[in-house]
Amino acid sequence: MSKVPAYAAPSANAPLAPFTVARRDPGPHDVAIDIEFCGICHSDVHQARDEWGGSIFPMVPGHEILGRVRQVGAKVTKFKAGDRVGVGCLVDSCQDCDPCRRHKEQFCQKGGAFTYNGTEMDRKTPTYGGYSTSVVVSEAFVLKVPEGLDPAAAAPLLCAGITTYSPLKQWHCKPGDKVGVVGLGGLGHMAVKLAAAMGAEVTMLSTSRAKEADARRLGAHGFALTSDDAVFKKLAGHFDLMIDTVSAPHDLNREVGLLRPEGALVLVGAPPEPMPFSSFALIMGNKRMAGSLIGGLAETQEMLDFCAAKKVVSDVEVIPAQKVNEAYERMLKGDVRYRFVIDTASLKSA
């Protein structure tokens, strides 16, 4: 057992503060990782503030973990000390149920083990996330991060990357497809980059006029301001696929109107409150609405390899852990270009 520095939310309405977590000694199948960078996802804010309900405190958030292997257990075959690795939203699962056998560990019927705000599979030991200097994770839940990727900019691929890559793959995104991305934040900017890298014709739908130039730089071919009613007439029936990354309630009926017949709107944004929805919005045109949760381990590795081949990483603002509360406030104001990433060196020197 080793004790390592971290940043934790002590309760739902208190700011994050320095904390110490105990990490287990690596077992035969475990990989001990020195964390270099950890991205800040809006899900961290939802959970640290208990917006989804059921949060466990104290909570060390962070599921965009990037680092180097320090030590491996005797039976580990995939990794050795010094390898650059990542850990996303999962640190374990039963590996035996139907979804686990189909490499969809995120749907483990035994509930899986989320990287934080959960427990290990013993259902007793709390899990603590990546706002910390090290973590010990079962080999099967560690990803190989290609050396060519900048480590700080690659960290957000572990959640924002896979969460947007997976629906693009599920809905067979191909060159020429018209893809709309709703919300230009951490997930949204990855969705633009990935859809563009797959050859799609991408339109950014945003509430922020000031983000238009960025959207185009990130790879969007078009930009539409969702506060402008004319947009919903002009782009009616336009998209094959839309990926909605918005973190707060908004009008889904209008969004579905932008799909072509049989087109699909995939929700990845997870607002805490329900949103009203009219069946007619889908019925008129056999439209589809779906959700998508991160991705399995094999698909996450595929995404990392795709990003290395296409030279896709996140646009990041690297911050010390001491600025995490400020980063949460800025994220809530839409003031992030486009992912905050904690440099864990700030925890070692604190």
The site for Zn ion (CB under 5 A) is made up of: 41, 43, 159
Among 159, 241, 281, 307, binds ligand NAP (CB under 6 A): 159
Nearer residue to ligand NAP within complex by CB, 8 or 159: 159
Q: End-to-end distance of the chain based on CA atoms, in angstroms?
A: 21
Residue showing the smallest CB distance to ligand NAP in the complex = 185
In the bound state, the residue with its beta carbon closest to Zn ion is 41
For residues 32 and 70, the answer to whether their CB atoms sit within 8 Å is yes
CB 186 within 8 A of CB 314: yes
Q: Cβ of residue 3: shortest distance to ligand NAP, in angstroms?
A: 29
Considering CB distances under 5 to 8 angstroms, the limit depending on partner class, which of Zn ion, ligand NAP, none binds residue 157? none
Q: How far is 131 from 135, CA to CA, in rounded Å?
A: 10
Strand partners, 22: 3
Interacting residue with ligand NAP among 29, 49, 144, 250 (CB under 6 A):
250
- 197: phi then psi, degrees, rounded to nearest 5: -65, -25
Shortest Å distance, C-beta 191 to ligand NAP: 9
User: Tokens 């139907």 correspond to what residue?
Assistant: 98
List alpha helices for 38-159, DSSP H: 42-48, 98-101, 151-154
Q: What does 245 bind: Zn ion, ligand NAP, none (CB cut-off 5 to 8 Å by kind)?
A: ligand NAP
- Give the residue among 160, 216, 157 at the shortest CA–CA distance from 185: 160
Structure token pair of residue 9: 């939310």
Per CB under 6 A, the list member of 184, 194, 266, 342 interacting with ligand NAP is 184
Which residue lies nearer to ligand NAP by CB, 19 or 338? 338
Give the residues lining the site for ligand NAP (CB under 6 A): 41-43, 46, 159, 163, 183-188, 206-208, 211, 245-248, 250, 268-270, 292-294, 331, 334, 336
